[in-house]
Amino acid sequence: MSDEPKDKPTDSAEAEETADAAHGPLLFYNDTVIDHFTQPRNVGEMSDEEADGVAVVGDPTCGDQMKLWIKVRDGVIADIKFKSFGCPGAIATSSMATELAKGRRLEEAARLTDDDVVEALGGIPEHKKHCSLMGTTALRHAIYDFLVKREQR
């Protein structure tokens, strides 16, 4: 039997060379998804006075929740903010949904689908596709909230 090696699994030169291959998620999630996950766009909150429409969707005890605020000017989503408790897929798709919605007319934004979000991200793993529903659902709820509040005014 050989002497006790200091076989820390990582510190050989060979392990260094294969480091890229060991980075599963870079293959599992593409670079665009990783980018929106690590640097989500439009993160933040709006006060009740600032926001024209608000939505809360999902259930954190089931793994994800999203809050969304929109500001509407002349029928256009002038500003949008979100916060999210969720998996990487939920964070990235929420971020992309806000990017797609920002600057769009309300009727266009309301028609955005989860497929639009997934396509803009260049695809996400099949079992994460349900995550992308959250951003577009929250968006429609926030637009509906705006329309109801406008009626009430």
Partner 1 sequence: MIYLDHNATTPMRAEVFETLRPFLQERFGNPSSFYGLARQARAALADARRNLAALIGAQPEEIIFTSGGTEADNLALRGTARMLKGRGRHIVTTAIEHHAVLRTCRDLEQEGFTVTYVPARSDGQVAVQDVLEAVRTDTILVSVMLANNETGVIQPVAAIAAGLRERDIALHCDAVQALGKIPLDVNALGVSLLALSGHKVYGPKGAGALYVRPDTPLAPILTGGSQESGRRAGTENVAAWVGFATAAGLACRDMETEGPRLKTLRDRFEALVTARIPRTVVHGASSPRLPNTAHISFANVESESVLLHLDLRGICASAGSACTTGSPEPSHVLAAMGIPALEAQSALRFSLGRGTTAEDMSATAAALADIIDRLRAISSC
Residue closer to partner 1 by CB (options 75, 122) is 122
Residue (53 or 88) nearer to partner 1, CB? 88
Spatial distance between the Cα atoms of 145 and 79, rounded to a whole number of angstroms: 15
Catalytic residue among 13, 19, 21, 62: 62
Among 71, 83, 104, 149, binds partner 1 (CB under 8 A): 83
Query: Hey, which residues between 58 and 77 contact partner 1 (CB under 8 A)?
Result: 60-67
Q: Are 139 and 109 contacting, i.e. CB atoms less than 8 angstroms apart?
A: yes
Q: Dihedral of the CA atoms 109, 69, 85, 90 (nearest 10)?
A: 10
- Residue carrying the six token digits 């529903």: 133
Three-class SS state of 120: helix
Is 37 a binding residue for partner 1 by CB under 8 A? The answer is yes
86 binding partner 1? (CB under 8 A): yes
Establish if 114 lies at the interface with partner 1 (CB under 8 A): no
Q: Name 87's Cβ contacts closer than 8 Å, sequence gap at least 6.
A: 63, 64, 128, 131
Of 131, 138, 142, 143, the active-site residue reads 131
Residue 4 touching partner 1 (CB under 8 A): yes
Site string for partner 1, 6-35 (x = CB under 8 A): -xxxx----x---x--xxxxx--x----x-
Is 87 designated active site?
Answer: no
Closest CA to 69 of 32, 26, 102: 102
Q: Which residues are catalytic?
A: 62, 131
